[in-house]
Amino acid sequence: MKLNELSDNEGATRKKKRVARGPGSGKGKMGGRGIKGQKSRSGVALNGYEGGQMPLYRRLPKRGFTKPNRLSYAVVNLGLIEKFIGLGKIDAAAEITEDVLVASGLVRRKLDGVRVLAKGEITSKVTLTVTGASKAAVEAVEKAGGKLTVATAE
């Protein structure tokens, strides 16, 4: 086999449809845009515009509220902490703080703090100090013989 003998499978590539290139093309004259009107012209973007009628997004009621100063936590699961201890990236004997989690690469950035959730198993006896934790996570750490302290964010 030579480079000049290589080719795609039959039907793998299709030629681009050339619009508005004469009657023989099947999309000649108006190029599939119909006769006159705003949509037949170039430079038209009509998303959500209903020809002067009150658009749907303004007819429907607005619901809910987005808290402007809500906190965003970096989330860590207990199973991942256990995995990093097993890999030797986190020392279980020392106190595990948010800075330790960032340094180990388990958390990319602290955001408004780190919140620990109970997904996965933890068997190591650890001392954790974080901004937030679920009740199940606190119970799981204490069951393994460790301690989970929830400190307030500075």
- What pLDDT digit, counting tens, does each position of 81-118 carry? 999 998 988 888 889 999 999 999 999 998 999 999 99
Q: For 19-70, how does the pLDDT look when each residue is reduced to its tens digit (9 = 90+)?
A: 999 999 889 999 999 999 888 988 887 888 888 899 999 999 999 999 999 9
Q: Which CATH architecture has domain 74-150?
A: Ribosomal Protein L15; Chain: K; domain 2 (3.100)
Confidence of residue 7 (pLDDT cuts 50, 70, 90): very high
Task: State the sign of the Cα–Cα–Cα–Cα dihedral 71, 72, 77, 82.
Answer: negative
Average pLDDT over residues 118-144: 91
For position 132, what pLDDT does the model report?
92
Domain extent listing, the chain: 15-64, 74-150
Structure tokens at 53: 């009628």
Classify burial at 46, counting beta carbons within 10 Å of its beta carbon; exposed 0-12, middle 13-18, buried 19 or more. exposed
Average pLDDT over residues 67-74: 93
For position 38, what pLDDT does the model report?
84
Which of 142, 125, 126 is closest to 134 using CA atoms? Answer: 142
Beta-carbon-side half-sphere exposure of residue 108 (alpha carbons within 13 Å)? 1
Instruction: Output the average pLDDT for the chain.
Output: 90
Residue 151: pLDDT over 90: no
For position 43, what pLDDT does the model report?
84
Average pLDDT over residues 112-126: 91
